[in-house]
Structure 1
Amino acid sequence: MHPIHSPVVISPKFSVCAALVAVTLWSIAPLLAEFARAAAPLQLTALTLLAGALTTLPLSRRVSVKTCSLGWQLSVWLGTPLLIVGAVSSYFIGMRFAPAAEAALITYTWPVLFVLLSQWSRWGRLRWASVAGALIAFSGAALLLLPQALNGSFGGAVSGYGLALLAAFCWALYSWLGQAAPVSLTPLLPRLLLVACAITCAASLLLESSASLPRGEALLAGIALGLGPYGIAMVAWDKALRFGQASLVGSLAYGVPILAALLLVLAGVSVFDWRLPTAALLVAVGCLKASR
């Protein structure tokens, strides 16, 4: 007589709690990046990706990529790590040139870009709701930049804003690649992060003068970035999407820019201004509108 195994029942509250953990950890990423300003940006990226790879090991499973075409194999093992490097390093470098809150909000427009890219690749056209959502989200970012534009006082911040937007494009492309790939990228995430870490280490040795690890607060902040926003958050988000309702779980992510802006103000990194919460709300509403 064979034993009877009862199915595992996962409470809907589990997926919501897991999603909230991921959202909270992603929200503290700009604050941790500010604490790690003393570290060279590429070194910080490599440290973060290494810690993230070790933390996401529970997601690792055997996936056969050899059955895919050569183009998809190159996209998975080279394209994906390059997008991760581009997203994380552009974000860290951009925050060195531009104010943290503004750079973070520009980066958090990536869900809108992902929706637009996904629709265009699937149907060859864009829906009006998605375009309207993109306009709302980018109006939030424009609201923060408007005073500097009127006064002509951008200075070097333009480079920071451009790099933040580049990070948003990289995250959007990474998400689209994960959706379009013939195999799931989640079980490959630890290995992809290690490949990205190796690429960043090589770039750091070539482009940065210092080869030593960051010290003190910068070292702890870099490890925390890998363990939290790029580690535990990835695992929690994977569980939330697997066991929960995708529409409900996905909508929780749009609270990240609001919570991130609030944490930056409470920590004294950003000065409170009515434009900051308004812009964060516009970005969140725009992302939600586009996804619907």
Structure 2
Amino acid sequence: MLGHTLGVSRFPWPGAGAAGLAIILWALVPLLMIAAGDLPPLRLSAMALLAGALGTLPMARRRRPRAAMPTRIQGVAINLLGALLMAGAVGACFAAFSLAPPAEAALITYTWPVIFLLASRWMVLRRLPLATLGGALLAFSGAALLVVPQALSSGVSGAWGGYLLAFGTALCWALFSLASQVPSFRFGERMPHLLLIASVMTGIASLALEGVSELPSSRELLATAALGLGPYGIAMLAWDRALGDPQAHRLGNLAHAVPVLATLFLVIAGVTSPDWRLPLAAGLVLWGSVTASTR
């Protein structure tokens, strides 16, 4: 989800190991959210993002590239843009998992690399190669395999709202990834600040929309801290380390395994019942994502 701007060269992990760590942590998001209990989605988002900000602050190393630094107003605008996209992605993701089955919501959420590829290749080439279009159709057909039966049976009620939020999460992460490609934005080195601002945004939204509730239990706090420090802290830094590897162009495709692993973890944990549609949908999303990224 990041570019190459975060200074994490102090980490001794090889690129493949760092990429693998990030992918496993991202795939654990649905399970960690379930472990967080019945915390309202926006409150859970605010707490997890705060944990991520505190966790990345001591690990991130600030670098000053030779490129012209943005003005103070531009820096504030960049921070607000990145934080808004991150708050939207995390908040919508947690709300989606609370409304829709976690495995299905996770598969839809992790179509974001395909959306990112569609947008970035259109911006560069002003056209979409057949491989990109074909891969996108495969990936979205995998998501549709899960969504369409629910839509036909319950219309716009039930889990349908969660599916829409999961797709909104995918859009936010795709836009965040596009913005991170702008060299002057340097989202990587801004990560602790982005997470902190996003935490404040979701916290204010939680107070306005969810009200004030009782304090979370120690188990919920532990799960929330793990959610923030893992997928939104260490995973971000590890993935940035992987993207700095000479073989980064090969490691990038590993990200498409996230929805497959997320589904597998949910089935192993007994949260999701085995269903023939789940492995087929996960395979279509994985196949489509790899096909779309073919140069």
Common fold: TM-score over 0.5:
yes
**1:256 correspondence with 2:258:** yes
- Count of matched residue pairs: 283
Check if 1:228 corresponds to 2:230. yes
Aligned-partner Cα distance in 2 for 1:108–1:208? 27
Is it true that 1:59 corresponds to 2:64 in the alignment? no
Deviations 1:100-126 (A, max 9, x none): 111110000000000111112223222
Taking a change above 3 Å as real, the CA distance of residues 121 and 75 of structure 1, as seen in their structure-2 partners, is: farther
Matched, 1:186 2:188: yes
Paired letter, 1:38: D
Partner in structure 2 of residue 239 of structure 1:
241
1-structure distance, mates of 2:152, 2:191:
43
Partner residue of 1:32? Answer: 32
Gaps of 5+ in 1: 1-7
Does 2:166 align with 1:158? no
Deviation for aligned residue 1:149 = 3.6
Q: Which moved more, 1:151-160 or 1:108-117?
A: 151-160
Q: 1:136 aligns with which of 135, 138, 145?
A: 138
Q: CA deviation at 1:67?
A: 3.1
How far off its partner does 1:146 sit?
Answer: 3.4
Instruction: State the distance in 2 between where 1:200 and 1:152 align.
Output: 30
Letter in 2 for 1:15: G
Residue 69 of structure 2 aligns to a residue whose secondary structure is coil
Mapped contact 1:38–1:214 kept (Cα < 8 A): no
Q: How many Å apart are 1:56 and its aligned residue?
A: 1.4
Distance 2:158 2:272 in 1: 18
What's the C-alpha RMSD, in Å, of the aligned pairs?
2.3
**Bigger radius of gyration among the two:** 1
Aligned pair partner of 2:279 in 277, 280, 291: 277
Higher mean C-alpha deviation, range 70-79 or range 130-139: 70-79
DSSP-derived class of the 1:146 partner: helix
Preserved contact between residue 106 and residue 166 of structure 2 (Cα < 8 Å): yes
8 Å Cα contact 2:88-2:169 kept in structure 1? yes
- Choose the corresponding residue for 1:286, options 285, 288, 293: 288
Q: Distance in 2 between matches of 1:252 and 1:30?
A: 19
1:3-42 matched pairs, under 5 angstroms? 14-42=14-42
Q: What is the alpha-carbon distance in structure 1 between the residues aligned to residue 121 and residue 240 of structure 2?
A: 23
TM-score scaled by length of structure 2 = 0.89
Contact 2:78–2:185 (CA<8 Å) still a contact in 1?
A: no
- Report the AA paired with residue 42 of structure 2: L
Instruction: Provide TM-score, normalisation by structure 1.
Output: 0.90
Match 2:116 to one of 97, 114, 121: 114
* Residue 73 to residue 120, structure 1, CA distance change in 2 (3 Å): farther
